[in-house]
Amino acid sequence: MLKHYYKTNWVYCAVLILDPRHKIDTFSATSWGLEMKQESVEHFNKSYRDYHVSMKTETSHVEENVVPEISEKVDDENDSIDFSSLYEDSPKSVDFKAELDGYLALKRATKDQNILDWWKVHEHNFPTLSRMARDLFSIMATSVPSERLFSVAGLVMTKTRNSLNDESVRALLCLHSWLDKSL
């Protein structure tokens, strides 16, 4: 099991950390969790830093067309201007380490807490983490629904019904779904 998780399932570990009901504490509950904890946390930290950098880059392009003041320190030897002030953190940006530490320091949510609602409420406190949560929680845990749809579509589009257009197939699949759900 560990061999499988080490190679393929870093998303599971990241989602476990982003679940406010579990966080990192859950890794300590099982022996295989203890073995995975260090590597999972390291991978999560790397992914978190990548998200933080990408968000910072995106927001720097969007911030109301404000042009930052450029420090015009001229290097006499090269006659070049120092643009380092463009790369300094803006006062609005949150230190990424402080954001993660703040999240991990919070008391775990109750088992009845809806995690999507929790992240909606806390998205302003943890902007990078909430974006990670939105992205990772939207990944389907299984491919069964799509496989079922292809199976039903195969029953609809047979050799004898191969001239159906896409609208007809879509309508038949919707009707099948509605009948299946008693709608």
- Domain holding 156, by residue range, is 144-180
Q: Please work out, in degrees rounded to the nearest 5, the angle formed at the alpha carbon of residue 32 by the alpha carbons of 8 and 39.
A: 55
Q: For position 112, what pLDDT does the model report? A: 93
Same domain as 151, residue 120: no
Same domain as 109, residue 55: yes
Can you read off the two tokens belonging to residue 167?
């609208």
Same domain as 112, residue 131: yes
Is 150 domain-assigned? yes
pTM as predicted: 0.56
Same domain as 49, residue 99: yes
Q: For position 70, what pLDDT does the model report? A: 36
Residues of the chain with pLDDT under 70: 1-9, 59-96
Is 112 domain-assigned? yes
Same domain as 176, residue 99: no
Using CA atoms, how far apart are residues 11 and 141, in angstroms rounded to an integer? Answer: 10
Same domain as 115, residue 56: yes
Same domain as 56, residue 7: yes
- Name the domain count of the chain: 2
Q: For position 72, what pLDDT does the model report? A: 40
Nearest 5°: phi and psi at 88? -75, 155
Those residues with Cβ within 8 angstroms of residue 15's Cβ, 6 or more apart along the chain or in another chain? 136, 137
Same domain as 108, residue 172: no
Q: For position 96, what pLDDT does the model report? A: 67
Of 168, 183, 182, 177, nearest to 149 by C-alpha is 177
Same domain as 119, residue 153: no
Same domain as 61, residue 149: no
Same domain as 151, residue 131: no
Contact in structure between 31 and 62 (CB atoms under 8 Å): no
Is 72 domain-assigned? no
Using CA atoms, how far apart are residues 176 and 173, in angstroms rounded to an integer? Answer: 5
Using CA atoms, how far apart are residues 52 and 89, in angstroms rounded to an integer? Answer: 12
Same domain as 59, residue 115: yes
Q: For position 76, what pLDDT does the model report? A: 47
